[in-house]
């Protein structure tokens, strides 16, 4: 298959490299020293199970991107307005657009920014990966999971085909019938992790060790689940327990990407994490006092 990767950082660079290694045609949209390094040395991947190097076309000229079967959108959520016109052009050319972003509304935001809604699949990824230097991607998590699905629900041949390509490349990938459930399931864990570590300015282990740390995490998770269900999303019973158990078993030293962005003093994804929980909660009449506090304090 022909893939274009819009955003060659940790997520996009890693999955794009796997796909290229598996024999797919992959073109990266990158810039600056990262682009120069990919062109000169290839894209280097470090991972717990070994490293590798792939050589694939890369450009900083969006107009030079080739037609594609699939475009993976892997920028930060605050960069969507800038990348949406590129995704829209690729969609008009026949590409399926798969956003692998945090939050629950990336697909809807792309549609509102001019990407044909019928060209978009919902996407969720579980991966800890980062660009550690120009041309070098490091996967830190033992897991590498991708879920894709139609925005309106149900099975589709294109979702199965994309999941199959990722599986063949070594990813734990699956086409799912209800992508909304998966998006909110991830948000319950991720927004809670980001809020707790952001408020504490500390890794998750420090939060858990505090006398009220577990209660904080429990309340954060519960608020997200309540908002999801009030929004009509069919989160399964016991989802709060699953999300809390995940948070309690994370490595103590883990610092979520939100905390790293916060400490760096640049843009963060607060608006699509606790900010989204707070906003949607008001829309559906569900109180979210802890996520409200995180949104107010961290902004």
First to last CA, the chain: 42
Domain that holds residue 127: 2-177
CA distance 288 to 254: 25
Average pLDDT, the chain: 96
The per-residue pLDDT for 156 is 95
Per-residue pLDDT, 142:
85
pLDDT at 59 over 90: yes
Same domain, 23 and 171: yes
Distance set, CA 31 to CA 53, 60, 86 (Å): 19, 5, 15
Q: How confident is the model at residue 140 (pLDDT cuts 50, 70, 90)?
A: confident
165-218 pLDDT, tens digit per residue, is 999 999 999 999 999 999 999 999 999 999 999 999 999 999 999 999 999 999
Residue 111 has pLDDT above 90, yes or no: yes
Q: Whole-angstrom Cα distance, residue 206 to residue 242?
A: 21
* Among 193, 185, 184, 186, residue whose Cα is nearest residue 290: 193
Q: Say yes or no: 136 and 75 in one domain.
A: yes
240 and 98 fall within a common domain: no
**Last residue of one domain, picked from the residues 138, 158, 177:** 177
Residue where a domain stops, chosen among 126, 146, 177: 177
Q: What is the pLDDT of residue 146?
A: 98
3-state secondary structure of 44: strand
Contact, 110 vs 72, CB < 8 A? no
Looking at the structure, tell me whether residues 187 and 230 fall in a common domain.
Answer: yes
Same domain, 168 and 290: no
Q: How many CB atoms lie within 10 A of CB 258?
A: 22
Provide the CA 266 distance to its chain's centre, in angstroms: 18
- 77 and 135 assigned to the same domain: yes
87 confidence band (pLDDT: 50, 70, 90): very high
In whole angstroms, give the CA distance from residue 67 to residue 90: 6
Q: Is residue 86 predicted with pLDDT exceeding 90?
A: yes
Q: Are 185 and 240 in contact (CB under 8 A)?
A: no
Domain count, the chain: 2
Q: Quick check: 141 pLDDT over 90? A: no
For range 246-250, the mean pLDDT? 93
User: Which of these three, 115, 145, 177, is where a domain ends?
Assistant: 177
Instruction: Specify whether 163 is located in the same domain as 188.
Output: no
Q: Read off the pLDDT of each residue in 54-68 and give the average, rounded to a whole number.
A: 97
Predicted pLDDT at 117? 97
Same-domain status, 37 and 80: yes
Query: CATH code at 87?
Result: 3.40.50.720
Rounded to whole angstroms, how far apart are CA atoms 281 and 291? 10
pLDDT surpassing 90 at residue 288: yes
CA-based nearest residue to 146, from 16, 272, 15: 15
Domain identity same for 24 and 97: yes
Give the mean model confidence (pLDDT) for residues 36-56.
96
Residues 114 and 32 in one domain: yes
CATH code for the domain of 255: 1.10.1040.10
Task: Please state whether 211 falls in left (phi above 0), alpha (psi between -120 and 50) or beta.
Answer: alpha
Is residue 225 domain-shared with residue 103, that is, in the same domain? Answer: no
Report how far residue 274's alpha carbon sits from residue 292's, in angstroms, rounded to the nearest whole number. Answer: 7
Whether residue 2 has pLDDT greater than 90: yes
Res 22: pLDDT: 98
Based on the fold, state whether residues 17 and 154 are members of the same structural domain: yes
Question: What is the model's pTM?
Answer: 0.94
Flag whether pLDDT at 155 surpasses 90: no
């Amino acid at each position: 298959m022909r893939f274009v990767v819009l955003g060659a950082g940790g997520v996009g660079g890693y999955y794009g490299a796997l796909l290229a290694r598996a024999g797919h045609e992959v073109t990266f949209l990158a810039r600056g020293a990262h682009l120069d390094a990919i062109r000169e040395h290839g894209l280097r991947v470090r991972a717990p199970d070994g490293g590798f190097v792939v050589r694939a076309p890369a450009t900083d000229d969006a107009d030079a991107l080739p037609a594609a079967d699939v475009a993976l959108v892997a920028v930060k959520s605050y960069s969507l307005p800038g990348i949406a016109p590129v995704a829209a052009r690729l969609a008009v050319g026949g590409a399926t657009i798969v956003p692998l972003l945090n939050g629950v509304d990336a697909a809807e935001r792309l549609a509102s920014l001019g990407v044909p809604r019928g060209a978009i699949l919902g996407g969720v990824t579980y991966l800890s990966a980062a660009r550690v230097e120009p041309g070098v991607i490091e996967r830190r998590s033992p897991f590498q999971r991708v879920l894709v699905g139609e925005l309106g629900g149900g099975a589709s041949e294109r979702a199965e085909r994309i999941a199959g390509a990722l599986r063949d490349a070594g990813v734990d990938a699956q086409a799912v019938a209800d992508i909304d459930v998966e998006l909110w399931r991830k948000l319950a864990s991720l927004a809670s992790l980001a809020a707790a570590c952001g408020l504490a300015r500390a890794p998750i282990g420090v939060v858990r060790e505090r006398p009220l740390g577990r209660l904080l995490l429990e309340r954060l998770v519960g608020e997200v689940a309540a908002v999801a269900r009030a929004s009509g999303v069919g989160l399964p019973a016991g989802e709060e327990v699953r999300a809390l158990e995940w948070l309690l078993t994370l490595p103590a030293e883990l610092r979520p990407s939100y905390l790293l962005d916060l400490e760096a003093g640049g843009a963060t994804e607060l608006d699509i994490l606790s900010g989204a929980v707070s906003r949607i909660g008001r829309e559906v009449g569900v109180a979210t006092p802890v996520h409200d506090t995180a949104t107010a304090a961290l902004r």
